[in-house]
Chain A
Amino acid sequence: MHLDAGQKIRTDPWFLTGAALLGLLFCLAVFGPVLMPWDPYDTSFIPLDPPSARHWLGINDGGMDIFAELLSGLRHTLIFGLTAASAGLVLGSVTGLFAAWQGGWVDQILMRLADIVLAIPSVMILILLAAFFQPPPWVLALTLAALTWPTTARGIRAQALTLKHGLHIQAARHMGGSSRYIIFRHLMPELFPLYLINFAAKLRMAVFMEASLAFLGLFDPSLKSLGLMISFALKYYYMDIWAHWLMPPVLLLSFLIMGTTFVTISLERVFDPRLKSAL
Chain B
Amino acid sequence: MHASDRHTWLTPVLAYLAAALILAFLSHSLPRMLPGDFVTAMYGASDVTLTPQQAADLRALYQDDSGFMAFLGRVFCLDWGYSYAFLAPVSALFFDALPWTLVLMGTAHVLSSILGFVLGVEAAWRRGTRTEKAGVGLMTVLEGIPELCSGVLLLLVFALNLGWFPAAGAQTAYADYTFLQQAADRLHHLALPLTTLVLAYFPGNFLLARAGMVMVMKSPFVLTARAKGLPPIRVRYAHAARNALLPLVTRFGLRFAFMITGALVVETLFSYPGLGTLLFNAIAMRDLPLIQGIVLAASIMVLGINLALEFVYILLDPRVAHAS
Contact = CB atoms under 8 A, between A and B. Distances in A.
B249 interface: no
Contacts of A115: 11-12, 15
A258 B160 CA distance: 26
A12 to B, nearest CB: 12
A106 interface: no
Given A131-B283, A217-B284, A237-B160, A209 B19 contact: no
Interface residues of A, number: 52
A124 B298 contact: yes
Interface stretch (B65-73, B76-84, B148-156, B234-242): B148-156
Interface in B146-167: 146-149, 152-153, 155-156, 160
Interface stretch (A40-48, A67-75, A190-198, A249-257): A249-257
Nearest to B262: A212
Interface stretch (B22-30, B44-52, B110-118, B181-189): B22-30
A217 B34 contact: no
A262 B30 contact: no
B207 interface: yes
B145 interface: yes
Contacts of B16: 119
A276 B211 contact: yes
Interface string A236-279: 01000010001000110110011111100100000001001101
B91 interface: no
A101 interface: no
A208 B19 contact: no
Given A115-B12, A119-B16, A234-B152, A209 B261 contact: yes
Contact of B31 (A121, A127, A132, A279): A132
Contact of B264 (A119, A123, A148, A273): A123
Interface residues of B, number: 62
A128 B258 contact: no
A205 interface: yes
A95 interface: no
A133 B29 CA distance: 13
A125 B264 CA distance: 14
B257 A205 contact: yes
Interface in A134-176: 148, 151
A265 B139 CA distance: 11
Contacts of B11: 112, 115
- Ranked 8 nearest A-B pairs via Cβ: A258-B144, A119-B19, A115-B15, A261-B144, A124-B299, A254-B149, A116-B18, A212-B261
Interface of B: 11-12, 14-16, 18-19, 22-23, 26-27, 30-31, 33-34, 140-141, 143-149, 152-153, 155-156, 160, 207, 211, 215, 247, 250-251, 253-258, 260-262, 264-265, 268-269, 279-280, 283-284, 286, 288, 291-292, 295, 298-299, 302-303, 306
